[in-house]
Amino acid sequence: MKKKILLVLGDPNSINSELVFKTLNKLSKTEKKKIIILANLNLLKSQFKRLNYKLSIKEIFNIKQKENSDKIKVLNIGTKLKFKNPFNLKLKERTKYIKNSLDIAHNIASNNKDVGILNCAIDKKIFKEKRIGVTEYLAHCCKIKNNSEVMLITSNKISVCPITTHIDLKNISKNITKKKIVTKTITIQNWFLKKNKKKPKIAILGLNPHNAELRKNSEEMKIIIPAIRQIKKLKINATGPLIADTIFINDYKNYDIIIGMYHDQVLAPMKALFKYKAINITLGLKYLRVSPDHGTAAKLIKKNKANPESLIKCIKFLNKFI
């Protein structure tokens, strides 16, 4: 089977349908042929109608179905949705629909090595469980139990990875372990060796301001430095712990990836520097999964202001690396 990209439309209460339409209009015919939209067909058509978008759609029933048409292929998710406003579904309906979409995408990609998953933005309220987003949800689907999955935000200049992901600040310290830092760093190293044919230069940040001046009872001394020592023994080119409040001024240019201890420590400066020029990749799954590096932006619905740049980069990335 030729390479396929499962484009999960994601959260209905979002700018996702606008982004998909804008993206498809910017892709070549060859690129568009690889895309299969995973969505509720009636919902998609209803949203396009509200946005005054016209798009030739072909419903398919199997990703291996031969289809020579230039129409955009849609694998219809039969979840019955009730909506007066297709951009304002209730949380219960959205939750069932989105989780069903992700489960179907997971099952298809798990059984087809030439399929990658691209999910559009999803509101974190969908996942009622604590400390979970799409990264963690799919890691659970893949039965990963050793923390080897990695959230990697990447641009053409630098990549960043948070050791902890969607958890509250008060819980970060107790969720950082030596094993977690080492395991995720190994996953990153293996990815770069496999896909980029090179050993990456890795910067590992401390947790506290100024690395807590390396006090004996700090996380730097008890957890992060011992982890870095073990990482270096594995012949991984890692440096740290470095100070988070200055590395993104200029020093980030000396590295391929910066590993931080929590979500906003690395994602906030990354987004400030590169805006829509970055994408979110999950490493360590049974398949390659990416998503645009932005949220649902519900306040922009029907305003024609959504920027498709990150979604376009996701598709080009999957085309290159599936």
The whole-model pTM stands at: 0.90
**Burial (CB count within 10 angstroms: exposed 0-12, middle 13-18, buried 19+), residue 71:** middle
pLDDT digits (tens, 9 = 90+) for 177-204: 999 999 999 999 999 998 888 899 999 9
Model confidence at 130, pLDDT cuts 50, 70, 90, reads low
Mean pLDDT of 9-21: 96
Mention the CATH class of domain 146-284: alpha beta
DSSP code of 270? H
The H or E element containing residue 150 is strand 150-154
Q: Where in the sequence of the chain do the CATH 3.40.718.10 domains occur?
A: 1-144+285-322, 146-284
Tokens at 186, concatenated: 């190994």
What confidence score (pLDDT) does residue 231 get? 98
Q: What is the C-alpha to C-alpha distance for residues 266 and 248, in angstroms, rounded to an integer?
A: 9
Model confidence at 166, pLDDT cuts 50, 70, 90, reads confident
**Burial (CB count within 10 angstroms: exposed 0-12, middle 13-18, buried 19+), residue 272:** exposed
Task: Report the mean per-residue pLDDT for the chain.
Answer: 92
pLDDT digits (tens, 9 = 90+) for 195-242: 888 899 999 999 999 998 889 999 999 999 999 999 999 999 999 999
User: How large a percentage of the chain has pLDDT more than 70?
Assistant: 98
The H or E element containing residue 4 is strand 4-8
CATH 3.40.718.10 fits 1-144+285-322, yes or no: yes
User: How large a percentage of the chain has pLDDT more than 90?
Assistant: 75
What confidence score (pLDDT) does residue 127 get? 82
